[in-house]
Amino acid sequence: MNKKEISEIKKLLTPNKSVFTRICGCYVDAEKNQKTKLKEAFLSLLEEEAFKYFAIFKKTLSGTIGRNLINMEFPLDQEMGDGTQTFLLKLRDTELKDDDLIEEFYQKVMETYLYPENYYIILVHGAYDVPGRASDNLDMDDASDYVYNFVLCSICPVKLSKPGLCYNIDTNQIENRIQDWIVETPDVGFLFPAFNDRNTDVHGLLYYAKNPEILQEEFIDQFLGCRIPLSAKTQKETFQTIIEETLDRSCDFDTVMSIQENLNELLEERKEDPEPVTLDKVEVKRLLANSGVANERLEEFDTHYEAAADEKTSFIAANVASVRSYEIKTPDVVIKVSPDKAQLVEHREIDGIPYILIKATDQVEINGIAVKSSVNGAEG
Protein backbone atom coordinates (compact mmCIF):
# COMPACT_ATOMS: atom_id res chain seq x y z
CA MET A 1 0.00 0.00 0.00
CA ASN A 2 1.21 3.50 -0.73
CA LYS A 3 0.58 6.81 1.02
CA LYS A 4 -2.61 7.59 -0.93
CA GLU A 5 -4.17 4.20 -0.26
CA ILE A 6 -3.36 4.34 3.45
CA SER A 7 -4.73 7.87 3.63
CA GLU A 8 -7.97 6.77 1.97
CA ILE A 9 -8.54 4.12 4.66
CA LYS A 10 -7.54 6.51 7.49
CA LYS A 11 -10.20 8.97 6.34
CA LEU A 12 -12.80 6.35 7.26
CA LEU A 13 -11.70 6.43 10.91
CA THR A 14 -14.14 9.13 11.99
CA PRO A 15 -17.68 8.90 13.41
CA ASN A 16 -19.32 10.41 10.32
CA LYS A 17 -17.49 8.14 7.85
CA SER A 18 -17.16 4.98 9.90
CA VAL A 19 -17.46 1.71 7.98
CA PHE A 20 -16.95 -0.56 11.00
CA THR A 21 -19.59 -3.21 11.62
CA ARG A 22 -18.31 -5.16 14.61
CA ILE A 23 -15.63 -4.90 17.28
CA CYS A 24 -14.05 -7.54 19.52
CA GLY A 25 -11.49 -7.14 22.28
CA CYS A 26 -9.59 -9.21 24.81
CA TYR A 27 -7.69 -7.86 27.83
CA VAL A 28 -4.71 -10.10 28.71
CA ASP A 29 -2.69 -9.81 31.92
CA ALA A 30 1.04 -10.42 32.42
CA GLU A 31 0.39 -14.12 33.19
CA LYS A 32 -1.47 -14.49 29.88
CA ASN A 33 -4.88 -14.79 31.50
CA GLN A 34 -7.87 -13.42 29.61
CA LYS A 35 -9.35 -10.98 32.11
CA THR A 36 -12.26 -9.58 30.11
CA LYS A 37 -13.64 -9.58 26.57
CA LEU A 38 -15.61 -7.26 24.33
CA LYS A 39 -17.89 -8.35 21.46
CA GLU A 40 -20.57 -6.09 20.01
CA ALA A 41 -21.73 -4.05 17.06
CA PHE A 42 -19.46 -1.06 16.63
CA LEU A 43 -22.40 1.36 16.41
CA SER A 44 -23.54 0.28 19.89
CA LEU A 45 -20.45 1.82 21.49
CA LEU A 46 -20.89 5.03 23.42
CA GLU A 47 -19.75 8.04 21.44
CA GLU A 48 -16.89 8.77 23.85
CA GLU A 49 -15.64 5.17 23.62
CA ALA A 50 -15.91 5.06 19.83
CA PHE A 51 -13.90 8.27 19.57
CA LYS A 52 -11.05 6.72 21.59
CA TYR A 53 -11.10 3.57 19.48
CA PHE A 54 -10.85 5.68 16.34
CA ALA A 55 -7.73 7.33 17.79
CA ILE A 56 -6.16 3.90 18.36
CA PHE A 57 -7.00 2.73 14.83
CA LYS A 58 -5.53 5.90 13.30
CA LYS A 59 -2.29 5.22 15.16
CA THR A 60 -2.25 1.71 13.71
CA LEU A 61 -2.19 3.25 10.22
CA SER A 62 0.31 6.01 11.01
CA GLY A 63 4.02 6.36 10.47
CA THR A 64 6.54 6.09 7.67
CA ILE A 65 6.16 3.40 5.03
CA GLY A 66 9.14 1.10 5.28
CA ARG A 67 9.72 1.93 8.95
CA ASN A 68 6.51 1.84 11.01
CA LEU A 69 4.25 0.65 8.19
CA ILE A 70 5.46 -2.39 6.27
CA ASN A 71 3.83 -4.06 3.30
CA MET A 72 4.03 -7.85 3.63
CA GLU A 73 3.09 -10.71 1.35
CA PHE A 74 2.10 -14.25 2.25
CA PRO A 75 4.31 -17.08 1.05
CA LEU A 76 2.43 -19.49 -1.23
CA ASP A 77 2.32 -22.23 1.42
CA GLN A 78 0.39 -19.91 3.77
CA GLU A 79 -2.37 -19.48 1.17
CA MET A 80 -3.24 -23.17 1.12
CA GLY A 81 -4.81 -25.60 3.57
CA ASP A 82 -4.49 -24.38 7.14
CA GLY A 83 -2.17 -21.48 6.29
CA THR A 84 -2.27 -18.17 8.12
CA GLN A 85 -3.77 -16.33 5.17
CA THR A 86 -6.59 -18.89 5.01
CA PHE A 87 -7.32 -18.36 8.70
CA LEU A 88 -7.42 -14.56 8.35
CA LEU A 89 -9.75 -14.86 5.36
CA LYS A 90 -12.17 -16.98 7.43
CA LEU A 91 -12.01 -14.39 10.20
CA ARG A 92 -12.80 -11.59 7.78
CA ASP A 93 -15.54 -13.45 5.90
CA THR A 94 -17.44 -14.29 9.11
CA GLU A 95 -17.39 -10.56 10.00
CA LEU A 96 -16.20 -11.44 13.53
CA LYS A 97 -19.41 -13.34 14.30
CA ASP A 98 -17.82 -16.76 14.80
CA ASP A 99 -16.96 -17.08 18.50
CA ASP A 100 -14.67 -20.07 17.99
CA LEU A 101 -12.62 -18.25 15.35
CA ILE A 102 -12.35 -15.17 17.55
CA GLU A 103 -11.13 -17.28 20.48
CA GLU A 104 -8.62 -19.03 18.20
CA PHE A 105 -7.41 -15.61 17.08
CA TYR A 106 -6.83 -14.51 20.68
CA GLN A 107 -4.96 -17.72 21.49
CA LYS A 108 -2.68 -17.33 18.45
CA VAL A 109 -1.85 -13.77 19.47
CA MET A 110 -1.14 -14.78 23.08
CA GLU A 111 1.18 -17.57 21.91
CA THR A 112 3.26 -15.42 19.55
CA TYR A 113 3.10 -11.81 20.78
CA LEU A 114 5.98 -11.34 23.22
CA TYR A 115 5.12 -8.75 25.85
CA PRO A 116 5.77 -9.18 29.60
CA GLU A 117 2.97 -6.94 30.87
CA ASN A 118 -0.77 -6.40 30.34
CA TYR A 119 -2.14 -5.69 26.89
CA TYR A 120 -5.43 -5.28 25.02
CA ILE A 121 -6.15 -7.04 21.71
CA ILE A 122 -8.61 -5.10 19.55
CA LEU A 123 -10.10 -6.52 16.36
CA VAL A 124 -12.59 -4.69 14.18
CA HIS A 125 -14.33 -5.56 10.92
CA GLY A 126 -15.10 -2.97 8.26
CA ALA A 127 -16.94 -2.88 4.93
CA TYR A 128 -15.92 0.06 2.73
CA ASP A 129 -18.10 0.80 -0.28
CA VAL A 130 -15.25 2.00 -2.49
CA PRO A 131 -16.36 4.92 -4.66
CA GLY A 132 -15.46 5.01 -8.32
CA ARG A 133 -13.17 7.72 -9.64
CA ALA A 134 -13.87 10.11 -12.50
CA SER A 135 -11.26 11.08 -15.08
CA ASP A 136 -10.41 14.15 -12.98
CA ASN A 137 -9.49 11.76 -10.08
CA LEU A 138 -12.46 12.87 -7.95
CA ASP A 139 -14.57 10.33 -6.07
CA MET A 140 -18.05 9.54 -7.37
CA ASP A 141 -19.95 8.55 -4.23
CA ASP A 142 -22.92 7.25 -6.22
CA ALA A 143 -20.76 5.03 -8.45
CA SER A 144 -19.30 2.37 -6.19
CA ASP A 145 -17.20 -0.31 -7.84
CA TYR A 146 -17.18 -2.89 -5.05
CA VAL A 147 -16.99 -3.37 -1.27
CA TYR A 148 -13.61 -3.70 0.46
CA ASN A 149 -14.09 -6.03 3.43
CA PHE A 150 -11.27 -6.00 5.95
CA VAL A 151 -10.19 -6.58 9.52
CA LEU A 152 -7.97 -4.21 11.47
CA CYS A 153 -6.08 -5.41 14.54
CA SER A 154 -4.43 -3.24 17.20
CA ILE A 155 -2.48 -4.61 20.18
CA CYS A 156 -2.10 -2.00 22.90
CA PRO A 157 -0.07 -2.08 26.14
CA VAL A 158 -2.17 -1.50 29.27
CA LYS A 159 -0.24 0.28 32.01
CA LEU A 160 -1.03 1.62 35.46
CA SER A 161 -1.26 5.41 35.55
CA LYS A 162 1.35 7.22 37.57
CA PRO A 163 0.59 8.00 41.24
CA GLY A 164 0.15 11.61 42.26
CA LEU A 165 -2.20 14.27 43.56
CA CYS A 166 -5.30 15.55 41.81
CA TYR A 167 -8.11 18.04 42.31
CA ASN A 168 -11.48 16.49 43.23
CA ILE A 169 -14.18 18.77 41.85
CA ASP A 170 -16.88 17.18 44.05
CA THR A 171 -15.08 17.74 47.37
CA ASN A 172 -13.14 20.82 46.26
CA GLN A 173 -10.01 19.17 47.66
CA ILE A 174 -6.53 18.18 46.51
CA GLU A 175 -6.44 14.42 47.03
CA ASN A 176 -4.46 11.30 46.25
CA ARG A 177 -5.23 10.28 42.67
CA ILE A 178 -6.70 6.84 42.12
CA GLN A 179 -4.46 4.84 39.76
CA ASP A 180 -6.16 3.35 36.73
CA TRP A 181 -5.13 0.81 34.10
CA ILE A 182 -4.78 2.87 30.91
CA VAL A 183 -4.93 1.49 27.35
CA GLU A 184 -2.01 3.11 25.57
CA THR A 185 -1.30 3.63 21.87
CA PRO A 186 -0.80 0.41 19.89
CA ASP A 187 2.49 -1.44 19.96
CA VAL A 188 1.78 -3.48 16.81
CA GLY A 189 -1.15 -4.07 14.48
CA PHE A 190 -2.14 -5.01 10.96
CA LEU A 191 -4.70 -4.38 8.22
CA PHE A 192 -5.87 -7.39 6.21
CA PRO A 193 -6.31 -7.74 3.30
CA ALA A 194 -4.09 -5.05 1.82
CA PHE A 195 -5.79 -2.23 -0.10
CA ASN A 196 -3.59 -2.08 -3.21
CA ASP A 197 -4.57 -0.07 -6.29
CA ARG A 198 -7.79 0.74 -4.40
CA ASN A 199 -8.68 -2.94 -4.55
CA THR A 200 -8.66 -5.98 -2.26
CA ASP A 201 -5.32 -7.80 -2.24
CA VAL A 202 -5.73 -11.01 -0.24
CA HIS A 203 -2.09 -11.91 -0.91
CA GLY A 204 -0.76 -9.23 1.41
CA LEU A 205 -1.31 -7.10 4.50
CA LEU A 206 -0.09 -3.84 6.02
CA TYR A 207 1.83 -4.31 9.26
CA TYR A 208 2.35 -1.60 11.91
CA ALA A 209 5.13 -1.39 14.50
CA LYS A 210 5.35 1.52 16.92
CA ASN A 211 9.07 0.89 17.32
CA PRO A 212 10.53 0.01 13.89
CA GLU A 213 13.42 -1.79 15.62
CA ILE A 214 11.09 -4.12 17.55
CA LEU A 215 9.03 -5.82 14.88
CA GLN A 216 7.83 -8.78 16.99
CA GLU A 217 9.47 -11.36 14.73
CA GLU A 218 7.77 -14.39 16.28
CA PHE A 219 4.36 -12.75 15.81
CA ILE A 220 5.13 -12.00 12.14
CA ASP A 221 6.61 -15.41 11.40
CA GLN A 222 4.34 -17.78 13.32
CA PHE A 223 1.02 -15.93 13.51
CA LEU A 224 0.93 -13.87 10.33
CA GLY A 225 3.13 -16.32 8.43
CA CYS A 226 4.88 -13.55 6.50
CA ARG A 227 8.54 -13.11 5.70
CA ILE A 228 10.28 -11.05 8.37
CA PRO A 229 11.60 -7.85 6.74
CA LEU A 230 14.80 -6.05 7.59
CA SER A 231 14.18 -3.33 10.18
CA ALA A 232 15.05 0.25 9.26
CA LYS A 233 18.21 0.07 11.38
CA THR A 234 19.28 -3.26 9.88
CA GLN A 235 18.66 -1.91 6.38
CA LYS A 236 20.99 1.00 7.07
CA GLU A 237 23.68 -1.21 8.61
CA THR A 238 23.48 -3.71 5.73
CA PHE A 239 23.64 -0.92 3.14
CA GLN A 240 26.70 0.55 4.87
CA THR A 241 28.41 -2.86 4.89
CA ILE A 242 27.81 -3.28 1.15
CA ILE A 243 29.31 0.16 0.46
CA GLU A 244 32.36 -0.42 2.66
CA GLU A 245 33.05 -3.91 1.32
CA THR A 246 32.59 -2.91 -2.31
CA LEU A 247 34.72 0.25 -2.17
CA ASP A 248 37.34 -1.24 0.17
CA ARG A 249 40.38 1.08 0.14
CA SER A 250 38.68 3.48 -2.29
CA CYS A 251 35.98 4.25 0.31
CA ASP A 252 37.22 7.82 0.67
CA PHE A 253 35.60 10.99 1.99
CA ASP A 254 34.58 12.44 -1.38
CA THR A 255 33.06 9.20 -2.71
CA VAL A 256 30.96 8.60 0.40
CA MET A 257 29.75 12.21 0.41
CA SER A 258 28.85 11.84 -3.28
CA ILE A 259 26.80 8.71 -2.53
CA GLN A 260 24.90 10.53 0.21
CA GLU A 261 24.26 13.55 -2.01
CA ASN A 262 22.98 11.39 -4.87
CA LEU A 263 20.69 9.51 -2.48
CA ASN A 264 19.19 12.76 -1.21
CA GLU A 265 18.76 14.07 -4.75
CA LEU A 266 16.86 10.91 -5.66
CA LEU A 267 14.55 11.35 -2.66
CA GLU A 268 14.00 15.01 -3.50
CA GLU A 269 13.16 14.21 -7.13
CA ARG A 270 10.58 11.62 -6.11
CA LYS A 271 9.20 13.22 -2.95
CA GLU A 272 5.73 13.51 -4.48
CA ASP A 273 5.58 9.81 -5.34
CA PRO A 274 2.98 7.93 -3.25
CA GLU A 275 5.22 4.85 -3.26
CA PRO A 276 8.37 4.85 -1.09
CA VAL A 277 11.60 5.01 -3.08
CA THR A 278 13.22 1.55 -2.99
CA LEU A 279 16.64 0.42 -4.16
CA ASP A 280 17.21 -3.13 -5.36
CA LYS A 281 20.59 -4.61 -6.26
CA VAL A 282 20.64 -3.07 -9.73
CA GLU A 283 19.70 0.39 -8.45
CA VAL A 284 22.30 0.33 -5.66
CA LYS A 285 24.96 -0.56 -8.21
CA ARG A 286 23.80 2.28 -10.46
CA LEU A 287 23.95 4.65 -7.47
CA LEU A 288 27.60 3.70 -6.86
CA ALA A 289 28.49 4.10 -10.53
CA ASN A 290 26.87 7.57 -10.63
CA SER A 291 28.84 8.49 -7.50
CA GLY A 292 32.21 7.89 -9.14
CA VAL A 293 33.00 4.33 -7.97
CA ALA A 294 35.58 2.77 -10.29
CA ASN A 295 34.58 -0.09 -12.60
CA GLU A 296 37.08 -2.49 -11.05
CA ARG A 297 35.32 -2.07 -7.68
CA LEU A 298 31.88 -2.48 -9.26
CA GLU A 299 32.97 -5.83 -10.72
CA GLU A 300 32.97 -7.22 -7.17
CA PHE A 301 29.69 -5.54 -6.17
CA ASP A 302 27.39 -8.54 -6.75
CA THR A 303 29.51 -10.75 -4.52
CA HIS A 304 29.54 -8.25 -1.66
CA TYR A 305 25.82 -7.50 -2.04
CA GLU A 306 24.75 -11.13 -1.80
CA ALA A 307 27.16 -11.78 1.07
CA ALA A 308 25.67 -8.94 3.15
CA ALA A 309 22.03 -9.50 2.16
CA ASP A 310 20.64 -11.63 -0.66
CA GLU A 311 19.82 -11.04 -4.29
CA LYS A 312 16.15 -10.19 -3.59
CA THR A 313 16.87 -7.74 -0.77
CA SER A 314 15.88 -4.15 -1.44
CA PHE A 315 16.28 -1.03 0.66
CA ILE A 316 13.90 1.84 1.41
CA ALA A 317 15.95 4.86 0.33
CA ALA A 318 14.73 6.97 3.26
CA ASN A 319 16.07 4.31 5.66
CA VAL A 320 19.62 4.39 4.29
CA ALA A 321 19.95 8.09 3.44
CA SER A 322 20.74 10.92 5.85
CA VAL A 323 18.09 13.45 4.96
CA ARG A 324 18.30 15.63 8.08
CA SER A 325 22.03 15.86 8.66
CA TYR A 326 25.31 14.24 7.71
CA GLU A 327 27.27 12.90 10.65
CA ILE A 328 31.04 12.95 10.24
CA LYS A 329 32.57 11.07 13.12
CA THR A 330 36.09 10.49 14.43
CA PRO A 331 37.02 8.78 17.74
CA ASP A 332 37.11 12.20 19.42
CA VAL A 333 34.90 14.57 17.41
CA VAL A 334 31.43 14.41 15.84
CA ILE A 335 30.43 16.93 13.18
CA LYS A 336 26.82 17.29 12.05
CA VAL A 337 25.96 19.34 9.01
CA SER A 338 22.77 19.90 7.04
CA PRO A 339 22.91 18.18 3.61
CA ASP A 340 22.41 21.51 1.83
CA LYS A 341 25.49 22.89 3.63
CA ALA A 342 27.72 19.87 3.07
CA GLN A 343 30.00 21.92 0.83
CA LEU A 344 31.23 23.74 3.96
CA VAL A 345 33.04 20.57 5.02
CA GLU A 346 36.00 19.22 3.09
CA HIS A 347 38.71 16.63 3.47
CA ARG A 348 42.30 17.75 2.88
CA GLU A 349 45.78 16.42 3.51
CA ILE A 350 48.28 18.91 4.96
CA ASP A 351 51.92 17.88 5.41
CA GLY A 352 50.89 14.25 5.00
CA ILE A 353 48.23 14.44 7.74
CA PRO A 354 44.51 14.12 6.84
CA TYR A 355 42.23 16.89 8.12
CA ILE A 356 38.52 17.59 8.02
CA LEU A 357 38.10 21.33 7.46
CA ILE A 358 35.02 23.43 8.16
CA LYS A 359 34.64 26.79 6.51
CA ALA A 360 34.06 29.28 9.32
CA THR A 361 32.11 32.54 9.21
CA ASP A 362 32.07 35.54 11.54
CA GLN A 363 29.20 33.86 13.47
CA VAL A 364 30.95 31.23 15.55
CA GLU A 365 29.90 30.38 19.11
CA ILE A 366 31.37 28.13 21.79
CA ASN A 367 28.78 27.16 24.41
CA GLY A 368 26.78 30.24 23.48
CA ILE A 369 29.73 32.65 23.61
CA ALA A 370 30.37 34.57 20.39
CA VAL A 371 33.93 34.09 19.15
CA LYS A 372 35.72 36.89 17.35
CA SER A 373 37.55 35.86 14.21
CA SER A 374 41.30 36.39 14.34
CA VAL A 375 41.12 37.61 10.75
CA ASN A 376 38.59 40.27 11.67
CA GLY A 377 40.61 41.14 14.74
CA ALA A 378 43.74 41.69 12.69
CA GLU A 379 41.88 43.96 10.35
CA GLY A 380 40.65 45.98 13.33
Indicate the pTM of the whole model: 0.82
Question: Are 217 and 200 in a shared domain?
Answer: yes
Whether the bond between 193 and the residue before it is cis, its omega within 30 degrees of 0, is yes
Question: Are 67 and 200 in a shared domain?
Answer: yes
Question: Are 96 and 225 in a shared domain?
Answer: yes
Question: Are 207 and 241 in a shared domain?
Answer: no
Is residue 259 scored above 70 in pLDDT? yes
**Nearest residue to 199 via CA among 104, 131, 109, 101:** 131
Cα dihedral value 321, 255, 294, 247, nearest 10: -70
Question: Are 355 and 268 in a shared domain?
Answer: no
Q: How many CB atoms sit inside 10 A of residue 290's CB?
A: 13
Domain boundary among 203, 229, 255: 229
pLDDT digit string, tens, across residues 17-59: 899 999 999 999 999 999 999 999 999 999 999 999 999 999 9
Domain of 289, in residue numbers: 233-323
Highest mean pLDDT (candidates 46-60, 143-157, 246-260, 271-285): 46-60
Residue 155, pLDDT score? 98
Question: Are 138 and 256 in a shared domain?
Answer: no
Residue 80, pLDDT score? 81
Q: How many separate domains does the chain show?
A: 3
Is residue 153 within a helix (H) or strand (E), and if so which, with residue range?
A: strand 139-160
327 three-class SS: strand
Is residue 311 scored above 50 in pLDDT? yes
Question: Are 361 and 264 in a shared domain?
Answer: no
Is residue 53 within a helix (H) or strand (E), and if so which, with residue range?
A: helix 47-60
pLDDT band at 379 (very low <50, low <70, confident <90, very high): very low
What's the first-to-final CA gap in the chain, in angstroms?
63
Domain boundary among 179, 208, 229: 229
pLDDT digit string, tens, across residues 83-97: 899 999 999 999 999
Left if phi > 0, otherwise alpha if psi is -120 to 50, otherwise beta: which for 179? beta
Question: Are 307 and 349 in a shared domain?
Answer: no
Residue 140, pLDDT score? 61
Q: What share of the chain is helix, strand, coil (3-state, %, to 5)?
A: 35, 30, 35
